[in-house]
Structure 1
Amino acid sequence: MKNKTIAAWLAFLGGPLGLHRFYLKGLGDTLGWLLPIPTALGVWGLERVQLYGLDDTLSWILVPLLGFNIAGCALCAIVFGLMTPEKWNARYNPSAAPEAAAGRTHWGTIGAVALALLVGTGVLMASLVYSFQRYFEYQIAEAQKISQ
């Protein structure tokens, strides 16, 4: 039986490592194995920012990968938490009754959804702001070079 609350928490806390996909689909899930790649690239981007400062062009691409990955996994947690018990059990527990306990929502599920909404939105907005700010600052610097 695949529990909806456990899946929501795994998507929120361990989603960038693919833990929720392994829980729901098993270790043979290709996307679960691919999720750590943008996570690792984003962490490398954060390290580049610490080493080379905010002017590192490669970090403009790498850091948002981490943010978008975290935000996407938070969205998965929200979708899992808001799924009806009938739909959850039909998809992940097909041999169980539509109202089986594994698909029910309780306070633990609501906590995962609320935190995923809070953190996922914050990380998504921070990633967008960082990448757009760096891009526009780069454009202004290039325009100044051309005008001189």
Structure 2
Amino acid sequence: MAKHKNKTLATALAFLLGGVGAHRFYLRGGVDRLGLLHLCCLPATGLVYGLGRAPNPFWVLLPLIVSCLAGFVEALVIGLTPDERWDARHNAASNRSSHSNWPLALLLVLTMLVGTTILIATLSRLFDLLYTGGAYG
């Protein structure tokens, strides 16, 4: 019997640790290519920091920020998937069925709140650096 994949746990992993691909490893195992791509953002951030040529700390964190934003989008996609489709895709061999309830709804609202805040802050800082050279901070 295959292990049952919990949709709320997968959404929480995408929300909290989506920047390093924890939800991808939970759902697809340790050799998922997109999960490894998420995980590569940490060495990329360290490489940019180690080179020491970034005039602004924003550029150092940009690979990690982009990976986290992708994790927020994936949290929304996972959380908004209907239970029947979720079970058909991830729990086909399991005898249990998924029943989403209010913790998933709260997690989705929190994902929208935090994800859009980070997206707007990232875009505003990016445009500030690109168009004014960081004149506003």
Flag whether TM exceeds 0.5 (same fold). Answer: yes
Q: Which runs of 4+ in 1 moved over 4 A?
A: 42-45
Residue type matched to 1:138 in 2?
G
- Please give the alpha-carbon distance, in whole angstroms, between the structure 1 residues aligned to 2:111 and 2:47: 24
The percentage of aligned residue pairs carrying the same residue is 31
**Ranges in structure 2 where 5+ consecutive residues have no aligned partner:** none
- Please give the alpha-carbon distance, in whole angstroms, between the structure 2 residues aligned to 1:44 and 1:115: 31
**Ranges in structure 1 where 5+ consecutive residues have no aligned partner:** 141-148
Within 5 Å, give how 1:75-90 maps onto structure 2.
75-90=73-88
| Counterpart among 3, 6, 10 of residue 9 in structure 2 | 6
Offset, 1:91: 0.9
- Please give the alpha-carbon distance, in whole angstroms, between the structure 2 residues aligned to 1:4 and 1:127: 28
Output the TM-score relative to the length of structure 2. 0.80
- Please give the alpha-carbon distance, in whole angstroms, between the structure 2 residues aligned to 1:136 and 1:42: 23
For these two proteins, the number of residue pairs brought into alignment is 131
- Please give the alpha-carbon distance, in whole angstroms, between the structure 2 residues aligned to 1:27 and 1:40: 18
Match of 1:122 in 2: 117
Q: Structure 1 residues 139 and 70, CA, compared in 2 at 3 Å: closer, same or farther? A: closer
Give the aligned CA root-mean-square deviation in angstroms. Answer: 2.8
Residue type matched to 1:6 in 2?
L
Within the alignment, does 1:20 sit opposite 2:15 as a pair?
A: no
Residue type matched to 2:55 in 1?
D
| Alpha-carbon contact 2:8-2:103 (below 8 Å) kept | yes
Match of 2:55 in 1: 56
